[in-house]
Amino acid sequence: MGGPLANVAAFGSRVFDALDDLAPPRPDAAGEILSEAAREFRADALGVVEAHASRTGIAYGRAFSYRGSYEARPVAAGGSSATPADKSFDGFFVGASGRAYPPSTPLAEVPAVVPRGGVRTGETFVYVNGIATTREGQYRSLQLIAERTGGRVVGLHNATRGAFLDIIQSAGDTLDIGRNPAVDALADTVHDEITAGRSVHLMAHSQGALITSRALTDVRTRLMVEDGMTRREAESLLARVRVETFGGAAGFYPDGPQYVHYVNRLDPVSTLFGLGPVGNNLAAPGRGAIVHRFTERGDAHGFNETYLERRVPFGRARRGDFD
């Protein structure tokens, strides 16, 4: 496939080839960062045309996941830093005891993290983490979500390659270019659940909200292109999806799902890149969305310390009752 998109992809790849050539010959930190950035962006550039075409409905038949490309077994948690080991779990589910399961695993078969005092609700939450978060870091958040909600919680892991490369990936998610395994895995999961007649409840922080927005847009496109639905029918089916975002880096969410967005006015991520500190016509939170803005100092962008503490049950939030 040629045309402008192919030219953009080729140009971007050449730019990062040049950056790779400029990287210092010795294996210092700056050289490693530039080389890794070049490799990551080159891979994304090569996938721009196919990904954009499939997501906009220009092309048909794209697989919306990386199914079958991972080992079909859980992997014991291990390691604690942003290493290639974390990258290998991109798009995996994280369940009880921090064990990881391939994206092809049906959601119901992932052993969930549960509250220490026992489950108090029948709902299962799927949490997508933000940047610079290892699998072990996400697991800590999963346990806190379980305690806060009283429900079962499963993580959809957005792997980290380090903050610098995570930010580059976030830019690609904003522009809907390149492949992101977490986007594909989440889109598959949501599609499978709602077309089987089940509801799904998503929670997302920071870049996780970008991933969620992008995945839901993919699902809507897939319902129309592959399943033959009208836009209205697709959005009606998407009403089975409940979405809660916290400090989200996305300013656009597709219509259909039921949304509650939490925005700290002092959070630079959600105020600069997300829905903003005040309502505005440039943002699109999703039809009927509830946006709860508050002011909290300290760890303004922190999920565990700031946002989760502000979270109220979904039904209350949808009524605008945050007191």
Instruction: Tell which wins on pLDDT, 156 or 172.
Output: 156
Structure tokens at 323: 């007191």
- Coil/strand/helix, residue 246: strand
CA–CA separation, 243 and 184 (whole Å): 17
Q: What is the pLDDT of residues 113-134, one digit of tens each?
A: 999 999 999 999 999 999 989 9
In this predicted structure, the answer to whether residue 46 has a pLDDT above a threshold of 50 is no
Q: Compute CA 268 distance to the chain's CA centroid, rounded to the nearest angstrom.
A: 19
CA–CA separation, 322 and 39 (whole Å): 45
Structure tokens at 273: 């890149």
- Coil/strand/helix, residue 2: coil
Give the pLDDT of residue 65. Answer: 35
CB 35 within 8 A of CB 20: yes
User: Mean pLDDT across the stretch 300-323?
Assistant: 97
Give the CA distances from residue 5 to residues 2, 16, 60, 171, in Å, rounded to whole numbers and listed in that order: 7, 17, 17, 17
Give the CA distances from residue 274 to residues 167, 201, 284, in Å, rounded to whole numbers and listed in that order: 14, 21, 10
User: Strand pairing partners for 155?
Assistant: 94, 127
Long-range residue pairs from 66-73, CB within 8 A, at least 24 positions apart, any chain: 66/91, 66/103, 66/181, 66/184, 66/185, 67/102, 67/103, 67/104, 67/188, 68/104, 70/102, 70/103, 70/104, 71/102, 72/102, 72/104, 72/105, 73/102
User: Mean pLDDT across the stretch 158-186?
Assistant: 80
Structure tokens at 19: 């950056």
Number of other residues whose CB lies within 10 A of the CB of residue 20: 17
Give the pLDDT of residue 13. Answer: 42
pTM, two decimal places: 0.76
Question: Residue holding tokens 């505005």?
Answer: 280
User: φ, ψ for residue 290 (rounded to 5)?
Assistant: -105, 125
CB 302 within 8 A of CB 311: no
Q: What is the pLDDT of residues 69-115, one digit of tens each?
A: 333 334 444 444 444 479 999 999 999 999 999 999 999 999 999 99
Give the CA distances from residue 145 to residues 165, 221, 244, 281, in Å, rounded to whole numbers and listed in that order: 27, 30, 12, 32
